Amino acid sequence: MPKFNYVAMDSRGKETKGTLDVANQNEALDRLRQMNLYPSKVTETALDDKKRAKGKKGGKAAKPKKKGKKGDINIPMPKWMQGKVKPKVLTTFTRQLATLVDAGLPLLRGLRVLGKQERSPALRSIIDELAISIEGGSTFSEGLAQHPKTFNKLYINMVKAGEMGGVLEVVLNRLSEFMEKAEKIKGKVIAAMFYPAAVMTVAAGILVLLMVVVVPKFQQIFTDMLEGKPLPAFTDFVIGISDFMKQQTIIFPEFAGGWPVPGPAIWYIVGFVVFIKIFVRLKFGRLVIDTLKLKMPVLGPVVSKVAISRFTRTLGTLVSSGVPILQALTIVRETSGNMVIARAVTAVHESVKEGETITQPLESSRVFPPMVISMIDVGEQTGALPEMLMRIADNFDEEVDNAVAAMTSLLEPIMIVFLAVIVGSIVIALFLPLISLIDTLGGQ
């Protein structure tokens, strides 16, 4: 009976090799499926021996074949050239890998397939390194841990839990759904804020242009035409603001050939931005900024709902994937994105560590609304905490959608009225002297 050499992957993604005594290749494939293995290569032993014999001519050892296509040079891309993998690209990769593994394709072959079609050079290089790591005997989670800038602790620990439980395809599906929903909420908030931000930026540019360039020219015209007569009070007020903005934003020195030079206000703004960037990197600074985000008059409730949705969805996804509750709380704390939420999660971690409930520290934090605390309490008592957490996340996602839509519809008329008042005031201030001049000419 012929022998067949095989290379296969087990349910944890680890590569195994061996030999089977079967009649043909199809029987070998059936035997491997019965052993819960996913074959990536099955060849007859006699054929392998012939290939080795062909490689030995004149007593010389055959040179090992290089992997990859002919002409390819497998030089790893330097880390500094790889760039950063965008969340949207990583989400697509996770969904595609989950689909391939769920369809029964071995993990290693799935990575090879995705590596060939990936357009992002950074992610393609990482996928190749993951495949090499798995071929060397490492698990998928160990390979992911070698790229902490691309795969966070949430991603790595969920994959690790899936490998330990033998449900990697289920965990990858949950992880892809989690990432897709997070990107969807983030995209909706960005899309809703893009229009107001763009309008306000253009409006600010037009306002500066009017006050710094147009109004001073009208001032010169009024001085020549009115021949020393006083300007209307409102026009004087607008011209005073124009002079102040011109001095503070742009200086036109005569000796520099008229080239504009940034004024003091520009440097103040640059200094303020630098200070904020440094301040946010400090632990105390991040706490202050995150607290202000949650307490802002209009945006505060939206930011709070997004943070609560992220907390509940992350914790629910981890617990339902088999990650221990203490480890899940540690991951949630590190991936919360808000220092106030992170402090509340730290208190929950200590409470659970002491054998107490989750609800008491959540209530003490004064961040989570009573409805959320009550639902978590019910889920904890009934043993359905993951399902309850996911239900809370879905509910808050809908509330975020409604709040963003309401805020956008409210901002549009406010911006229109604001711009009309500002531009209209400038136009009226410039026309008042002309009206007085026309009246004078009419009287003559």
Q: Which residue has the tokens 């006699």?
A: 46
Residue 251's pLDDT band, with cuts at 50, 70 and 90, is low
How many residues are present in the chain? 444
pLDDT of residue 78: 47
pLDDT of residue 246: 75
Asked whether the predicted pLDDT for residue 318 surpasses 80, the reply is yes
Asked whether the predicted pLDDT for residue 369 surpasses 60, the reply is yes
Residue 69's pLDDT band, with cuts at 50, 70 and 90, is very low
Domains, the chain, ranges and CATH?
3-11+19-51 (no CATH), 79-151 (1.20.81.30), 171-444 (1.20.81.30)
pLDDT of residue 13: 59
Task: Render the burial of 315-348: b for 16+ CB within 10 Å, e for the rest.
Answer: bbbbbbbbbebebbbbbbbebbebbbbbbbbbeb
pLDDT of residue 261: 60
Residue 259's pLDDT band, with cuts at 50, 70 and 90, is low
pTM over 0.85: no
Query: Stretch 147-176: mean pLDDT, rounded?
Result: 82
Residue 207 burial (C-beta neighbours within 10 Å; 0-12, 13-18, 19+): middle
pLDDT tens for residues 117-139?
Answer: 888 888 888 998 888 888 887 88
pLDDT of residue 407: 78
Query: Stretch 163-172: mean pLDDT, rounded?
Result: 80
Question: Average pLDDT, whole number, for the chain?
Answer: 78
Specify the 3-state DSSP secondary structure of 101. Answer: helix
Q: At 421, list the tokens.
A: 């008042």
CA dist 204 and 206 (Å) reads 6
* CB-based contact 397:189 (threshold 8 Å): no
Residue closest to 395 by CA, chosen among 301, 297, 312, 335? 312
CA dist 59 and 57 (Å) reads 5
Asked whether the predicted pLDDT for residue 215 surpasses 50, the reply is yes
pLDDT tens for residues 415-440?
Answer: 888 888 888 888 888 888 887 777 76
Which residues are CB-contacts of 392 (< 8 A; sequence separation ≥ 6)? Answer: 308, 309, 312, 316, 372, 375, 376
